[in-house]
A and B are shown apart, each in its own frame.
Chain A
């Protein structure tokens, strides 16, 4: 089955700096890659996603890039704010099948 690896496990940045989280996947058939943000004690919530026919997608301060050849995708958060502090999970899925999640990155934005 699919194996998703996520790095780093923890990340601290100064407010206003950028944060980058990287994930790799093993199954070249995976074609959908969402990112979830989970605040302490809350449910994971989708923040951005990308499909395999697209190389990059941006939504305000958040962007995701996908390299199908290398089988990795990354989350980029610019101009970080304290409210960005949370655990971020990447996931990979093949249409019609279950989602495989990375192990999470705990992001702390220092005011």
Chain B
């Protein structure tokens, strides 16, 4: 596609439920990033994939958070047993091979509300 695509765009879930957020990066982009942005706050790094290398998971806030990526394509961010503090926009971004220092492009985000 023309840009980074994320789904769902909005999700309201009950506390304790699991949610899955999906990201389709720009075709040909081997690097993929997930960030969390709470209302009025900055961009909090969660996880980063570069090709087939082991992902950098250092930003995941707890073991309730996990992410997978299928080859160099779609990624899914999973939040288990959601809590109210998980309410935020989850932004995915992608870039050409990050090892050559390329710009990252963001998707529109998935707005998650935990009630």
A residues adjacent to B (C-beta < 8 A): 1, 31-32, 34, 36, 42-46, 49, 51, 89, 93, 95-104
**Contact call B101/A31, Cβ cutoff below 8 A:** yes
Nearest 7 Cβ contacts at the A-B interface: A95-B101, A96-B99, A103-B42, A101-B43, A43-B106, A98-B48, A104-B42
23 examples of A-B residue contacts, CB within 8 angstroms: A1-B58, A31-B101, A34-B103, A36-B106, A43-B106, A43-B107, A43-B108, A43-B109, A44-B106, A46-B105, A51-B101, A93-B101, A95-B98, A96-B99, A97-B56, A97-B98, A98-B48, A99-B33, A101-B35, A101-B43, A103-B42, A104-B41, A104-B42
A89: chain B residues at CB < 8 Å are: 42-43
Task: Say whether, besides A98-B45, A103-B41, A104-B42, A49 and B103 are in contact (CB < 8 Å).
Answer: yes
B residues adjacent to A (C-beta < 8 A): 33, 35, 41-43, 45, 48, 50, 56, 58-59, 91, 98-101, 103-109
B100: chain A residues at CB < 8 Å are: 95
A102: chain B residues at CB < 8 Å are: 42
For the complex with contacts A1-B58, A98-B59, 4 further pairs of A-B residues with Cβ separation under 8 Å are A89-B42, A99-B104, A101-B35, A101-B45
**Contact call A46/B103, Cβ cutoff below 8 A:** yes
A17 to B109, CA, bound (A): 33
A93 to B95, CA, bound (A): 13
